[in-house]
Amino acid sequence: MNRPAWLAPAAIVLLAVALRVIYVLLLRDHPLFASPNMDAGYHLAWAKALAGGEEFQDGPFFRAPLYPIVLAGLTSLAGEGTLFPRLAQSLLGGLSAYLTYRIGERVHGRVAGLIASVLVAVSWVLIAFDAELLIPTLFVPLSLFALDRALVWGFDDRPRPALIAGLAFGLAAIARPNILLFMPAAFALAAWRGRGWRGPVALTLGTCLAIGPVTVHNALEGDTALVATQAGVNLWIGNNPASDGSAAIVPGTPDGWWEGYYGAIAQAEAAEGRELRPTEVSAHFTGRALGWVSDEPEAWASHMLWKARLLMANVELANNSDIEFTAMRTMPLLRLSPSRWDLLLGLGLVGLLAGVRRGQRGAGVLVLYLGVYAASIVLFFVSARFRVPLVPILAIGAGYAVTLLMEAVRARDARALALLVSPSLLIAGLSNALPENIRRGDAAGLLGLGIAELRRGDAAAAQAHLEEAYSISPTNPQVRYQLAYALREVGGSPERIRGLCQVLPGFEGTPAALDLTILDLEVLLETEGPDPVLVRADALLEQYPGTSSLRFLRANALAASGRVDDALRALQEQARDEPQNPEPHYGAGQILEQIGRTADARASYGEVLARADFCAPVVIADVRARLLRLGP
């Protein structure tokens, strides 16, 4: 009895959705589940503002807006909490598995498509990211849909399917703009294959039509960004003398999403000597990156090779958090997933190139897309969430490689078997040859757990995680900083705290070093008073102008020295310059409460609650307790 053709892919899609739903339900105990921070927190805050009809950020979009728009729709359906959006995103994971099957079947045949779809369904990294409030959960299926439409079109001179493909690529670009780097290659391929211009022009028109409303919005906001204004900052992050190729921090700015955001703007404006529009900030950092490339081309070329090596490495580089640590602790069975990066890379590249060699229609397009998208990652900086869209493409190649291996085994063709297995193992082996300074371990994951526990106010639990992280990686400046912060919260020894805050050789001038220095000054303020702190803070502000945490420290030192009016004035200026930042309002409320200006203190605390999406839960709880104590 013949089974319906749809049954196998449907079963795989159900498997993909089920695994993702189970993972989300198991993830609920994670301290960041309800109140995410960094990029996930930014997306959630943006989505809540959109759902409430409120303005989130003045000016053009800093980041591509499609994912927060979708997240806003999901949050408006379910109200408070993040469980429903995360569960809904499981369906997107199922869609990715289906689209992988579609592309694999179209290029390499049904069996290859089914194998590729299974690899996507059980991929631990895709399962983990589909549960996060991050862009890949939307971008992966959108980019696969765009590729599927491009293959249906065939890069010929037919305008209608070319227009649809362009619309799909444009939609994906509103989620992550670097996919636009593929469009010149697609245009050239279509012009060469189609022997005409209707197809390429229709592709371009479709892309522009999809992006157009976002560009118009940015123009109406007073600037001229195609999609978003973050490209220049990201280019400088990944192309500067201090870059390690993966850390997403602008040199000279403190850690933290908003701290880094405002710090980068202040840095650019200080260098230019004037107030800058968002696109001018982006242009400033683009110029700095290109200046480094021009001044030190050999260093830049070496750095690009280093980032290419990071892209190939069998390790998921953490950006906001260690996704592998979280995934394996949440659902240990994921360790059994066959969709390992090294195997996918080896089998995927061999399978894709075999498809090209055998002249399979569409195989060259997949190779071209894989190469261009991989280059777009290396051009900026490498992290797990930037690399994850490559997983389905490699899975398609791996699916075809497995079918070729099965054919070789059935035919007892030792030569064909060797030609498939040898390069696959070689590539996988090279992927596991990790650089010396890239080490697998639990330190980064424990650090993330410690930070999460600090956000929700459990400093003792945070200390336990961070002490363990410190025992693994005692020189890591972020581990030292967070441990020192936790010790300060639990009333630890000032001597040990200040000892942890000492910047070790080799870390001078890094963002983490600045954070450590500021925390050291905060402890110094408590133990020795404001005078030495004010001197140091003023000097550091000259070196790092506009740094949010430094401005806040200086205001606290002014208040401690009795200059209350100066402190309040400094906090008002900071609140004006950093409209999304609740910290200056929180600091002002505490000062006003201490000097008996109850009504003004309540107003300041109200401003904090108005920015609750940018606050750690422990801060919100403290503000609400203070308001209850102050009365109506």
Q: What is the pLDDT of residue 22?
A: 96
Rounded-to-integer distance, Cα 529 and Cα 561, Å: 8
pLDDT under 50: residue ranges of the chain: none
CA gap 598, 589 in Å, rounded? 9
Distances from the Cα of 528 to the Cα of 489, 520, 559, 560, angstroms:
18, 12, 15, 11
Top CATH class of 532-632 equals mainly alpha
Report, in angstroms and rounded to the nearest whole number, the Rg of the chain calculated over CA atoms. 26
Backbone angles phi, psi at 561, to 5 degrees: -85, 0
Instruction: Output the pLDDT for position 556.
Output: 86
Nearest C-alpha neighbor of 272 from the set 259, 288, 295: 288
- Indicate the domain borders of the chain: 7-225+315-329+339-431, 443-528, 532-632
The reported pLDDT for the residue numbered 613 is: 66
**CA count, 13 A, side-chain hemisphere, 479:** 20
Could you check whether 443-528 and 532-632 share the same CATH topology?
A: yes
- Say what the pLDDT of residue 1 is: 52
Q: What is the number of other CB atoms lying within 10 angstroms of the CB of residue 111?
A: 17
Output the pLDDT for position 472: 86
d(CA 126, CA 97): 10
Q: Which residue type is seen at 415? A: R
User: What count of other Cβ atoms lies within 10 Å of the Cβ of residue 492?
Assistant: 16
Alpha carbon distance 589, 599 (integer Å) = 10
Please give the class, per CATH, of domain 443-528: mainly alpha
**Amino acid at position 599, single letter:** A
pLDDT of residue 301: 94
Whole-number Å distance between alpha carbons of 535 and 597: 29
Model confidence pLDDT, tens digit, residues 88-111? 999 999 999 999 999 999 999 999
Side-chain half-sphere of 203: how many Cα atoms within 13 Å? 32
